[in-house]
Structure 1
């Protein structure tokens, strides 16, 4: 498994997934499987049939659709990588790819895997999987609450009562899920300790800490704070050509929940975190726009979160200011 010569690309959809096996001779074998536990086992039998147990498998991060398949493959001790779809898309552009079918996408992923040899995917622990599900559910409920609150502004008569009833139910569910998150973290000493480390950073509360723990774990896959920032999609996207220099937006090719979770804490940290407050003042003095300053504060918060989790020590403002 150190030097695989067979590469397998997997394009996952809701009901099925397409598989392309790229042999050492450069030939493809393709197959479609149902995206079910039975289909996952069929894939394993198919790999065994072509003696591809030592192959390097690669798939895109497709949320819930590919999560169970990735876990199944990792449990079988297979070498599997889960990569950002933006990387595959960019790779396809370098090949001037014109075909856009599930079969063609699976073959593209196999070629990407052969050329770039992405890092193995490490499945999160069971307590992290549960935490991720709870945090995601809380985010869904908050989005529903926002939508219903917007509808309440224009609702009249019986319709208004219906919206109010739905809002009351959603609020109850939000409180229940938040309690479940709190109980779940309290039940696991490592998570509780990490939450306390994160909450020692001014601007980061328990809710933000739960989101960070859910989506940064396992932390060992990140070797630097810079990688964490890129994973969250907060790294700047430089746009320069010759003497022209455009605006520098953030990449946004990362975990959107992390970016969303850090926005309000960054606004709070600008006022109450001495290191970030001083940092933001310097940026404003240099003429940076307010939103640029907030995004920079979000990045700095991630740096601090990575630092306290890696060191196992709570936030020390005196150390940072020094």
Structure 2
């Protein structure tokens, strides 16, 4: 594609409409977020030399839009809203309307040029929804359990116990549905088997990675670490020199990998040795655990990429 003719598209997704902005022309329009509006949108964009379309992940409203754009063969990237907010602040764009948001997203697409990636198949999208719902139920169980511990009224405490029992039943049903989905998909079943060949990786971690990191095995370890949010970022400002932190990324995946790293440190000699070496050198335990997460993620990425189980790769 001729760089001079390339069009970068930003789309602000709301419940009822889509605000669209094209760079560098500055053309802007909106369509309804329904079948007719999506048809109009894909037709208009298909007539342009589109280099990239960027939309924000907006809690589910973007799913149908992303599927329609991907189905039309348009290069698409769904980005974390925080990236757009940080970019807008850096640009001094503090005003906020749907049309202005679309313009900022288009500017982000043109100047940052995030990598376009395929939208998951419907089955993968459903699995991601199930994994997200499982996480919500676990959070609700935790909150209700905390309330029950502080509840002096026995009658109300019994009500909380019944609700916790109900949520635990829902959790079991979701786990069963996720398991059935994995078993009925040869591709997922193979990937799950590969991931679980690593000591310390169980059902929850494997299924979370399959559902929420479709890029696993297809990008390099640096990009993957940044994607998940375990890549150390510079914080050299003022008196803060040489300090590195992890920020952004896919929080739910990072939290799952944190627990997997703890399991790997206990049950996997390779990762235990790596962790012990870091702590012996004086690294704080949390820093060492994050390093284990990165090493674990790199290992899992290579296993999926090479289609080679742990026991063979590390024999």
TM-score normalized with structure 1 length:
0.88
1:281-317 superposed Cα distances (whole Å, 9 cap, x missing partner) = 1110121111112211111111111111111111138
1:193 deviates by 1.3
Among candidates 143, 146, 155, match of residue 147 of structure 1: 143
Matches within 5 A, 1:100-119: 100-119=96-115
Counterpart position of 2:307: 312
1:73-105 superposed Cα distances (whole Å, 9 cap, x missing partner) = 111222323233344334334433232222112
Equivalences, count:
313
- Is the CA contact (8 Å cut-off) linking 1:275 and 1:317 kept in structure 2? no
- Is the CA contact (8 Å cut-off) linking 1:274 and 1:317 kept in structure 2? no
- Is the CA contact (8 Å cut-off) linking 1:124 and 1:218 kept in structure 2? no
Counterpart position of 1:79: 75
1:196-235 superposed Cα distances (whole Å, 9 cap, x missing partner) = 1111111111111111111121436x42122111111111
- Is the CA contact (8 Å cut-off) linking 1:74 and 1:123 kept in structure 2? yes
- The verdict on how the C-alpha distance between 1:158 and 1:2 changes in structure 2, with shifts beyond 3 A counting, is farther
Counterpart position of 2:154: 157
Among candidates 32, 35, 39, match of residue 33 of structure 2: 35
Distance in 1, Cα, partners of 2:181 & 2:306: 24
- The verdict on how the C-alpha distance between 1:11 and 1:106 changes in structure 2, with shifts beyond 3 A counting, is same
Query: Moved runs in structure 1, 4+ residues, more than 6 A?
Result: none
Among candidates 178, 185, 189, match of residue 181 of structure 1: 178
1:35 deviates by 2.9
Matches within 5 A, 1:140-289: 140-155=136-151, 156-219=153-216, 222-241=218-237, 244-245=240-241, 247-251=243-247, 253-289=248-284
Distance in 2, Cα, partners of 1:243 & 1:176: 52
Counterpart position of 1:300: 295
1:60 matches 2:28: no
1:55 deviates by 6.0
Q: Structure 1: 5+ residue runs without aligned partners?
A: none
Counterpart position of 2:22: 21
Determine helix, strand or coil for the equivalent of 2:27.
strand
Instruction: Give me the CA root mean square deviation.
Output: 2.4
- The verdict on how the C-alpha distance between 1:287 and 1:317 changes in structure 2, with shifts beyond 3 A counting, is farther
Q: Structure 2: 5+ residue runs without aligned partners?
A: none
- The verdict on how the C-alpha distance between 1:244 and 1:146 changes in structure 2, with shifts beyond 3 A counting, is closer
Distance in 1, Cα, partners of 2:140 & 2:2: 47
